[in-house]
Amino acid sequence: MADEIPVLDLAPLLRGERDALDRLGPQLYRAFTGVGFYFIRNTGVPDALVEAAFAAAARFHAQPLDAKLAMPFSVHNQGYLPMRGNTSRMNAVDGVKKPNANEAVFFKRELPPDHPDVLAGKRFRPANQWPADLPGFRDVALDYIAAMEGLGRRLVPIYAAALGLPHDWFDDKFREPMFTLRMTHYPQQEPTAPADEWGLAPHADTSFMTILAQNKVPGLSIRLPDARWIDAPALDGHFLVNGGMMLRRWTNHAFLATPHRVTNRSGQERYAIPFFMDCDYDAVMAPIPTCVTADNPPRYPPFTYLEFMTEYSGANYDQRGRSAAGVALQGA
């Protein structure tokens, strides 16, 4: 199934070749109008860092439950969400009703406690919560976050090229992008588990960009535009990238937000470390000019990150999550 999902080679971009963006742009356009996912290779992200991040996720979830609950999930979509703590409703497909069989912890940009946005209680701009008794965990998580933010920034000009825009068109909208690292644990699902029990139920992401490190334990499937579900292959040394409803809205529906799901019937514990990147907190997203035509007039008024995420808030959570007004869970 690898040939269903395009592969973009970033080596020419990393080498600074003058025409790299113009070559990659059409490839990305075809990916987002035909599949909604693409692989990237030669990213410059060390394999050892990816392995360390997966190991850190396993270490976190191996803690006693009380230690994880000491970092409660908050209004900022940050902290620890317990097993079966959410049900995919917003962005869901196929009439999902059961809670997702996973637990997850979320981290955002590292802001000091005295940062003005933290002091003001600005939503989605908190100080991170960190585990008290996991030496080295914070350093690994922050190193991985920095690598993913750098990778995401390198990808953004390709989106501009794909959309027929100047390569720097998004620059003023990604000066300090919003992002979330989610470390998820999918326990083994019994072979006798109901067919409608999911590790993560069929859904579309909310983000502009989701960057997913490849997982040695299978479980991720995506739904192609022709309604076929395929198992996403795991390609060594690659990342899998997709867009969500923010990208779809911003491109006036030119780009896909492709549904996907996770099941873990592998007989092993499964961990995932998706990184969700969006534009700046205050950036105004109006339908991109090259995506507006006489046949496709603007579908949405201009919006900001806060407006968009607030709109999606609270739909996917149980009573614990609703009381925290959490936003919809994202990614695999």
Distance, in Å, from the CA atom of 231 to the CA atom of 295, rounded to the nearest integer, reads 35
Q: What is the pLDDT of residue 90?
A: 47
Q: Give the residue-averaged pLDDT of 113-131.
A: 95
How buried is 252 (Cβ within 10 angstroms: 0-12 exposed, 13-18 middle, 19+ buried)? buried
Reading the block at residue 81, the tokens are: 């969400």
Banded pLDDT at 317 (limits 50, 70, 90): very low
Q: Which of 53-57, 98-102, 232-236, 301-305 has the lowest mean pLDDT?
A: 98-102
pLDDT the model gives residue 49:
98
In this predicted structure, the answer to whether residue 325 has a pLDDT above a threshold of 50 is no
In this predicted structure, what is the pLDDT of residue 84? Answer: 59
Q: Is the pLDDT of residue 316 over 50?
A: no
Supply φ then ψ for residue 48, to 5 degrees: -65, -35
**Structure tokens that stand for 313 in this block:** 């808030």
What does the pLDDT look like over 251-272, one tens digit per residue?
999 999 999 999 988 889 999 9
Pairing of strands 79-81, 37-41: unpaired
Band of residue 58 on the pLDDT scale cut at 50, 70, 90: very high
DSSP state string for 108-171: -----TT-HHHHTT-TT-PPPP--TT-TTHHHHHHHHHHHHHHHHHHHHHHHHHHTT--TTTTG
| pLDDT band, very low/low/confident/very high, at 200 (cuts 50, 70, 90) | confident
Lowest mean pLDDT among 58-72, 174-188, 314-328: 314-328
11-27 confidence digits (pLDDT tens): 999 999 999 999 999 99
pLDDT of residue 201: 79
Q: What is the 3-state secondary structure (H, E, C) of 224-279?
A: CCCCCEEECCCCCCCEEEECCHHHHHHCCCCCCCCCEEECCCCCCCEEECCEEECC
Read off the pTM.
0.91
Among candidate residues 14, 22, 16, the one with its CA nearest the CA of residue 167: 22
The mean predicted confidence, pLDDT, of the chain is: 89
Q: What's the pLDDT at 189?
A: 82
Q: What is the band of 96 on the pLDDT scale with cuts at 50, 70, 90?
A: low
Give me the percent of the chain exceeding a pLDDT of 90. Answer: 77
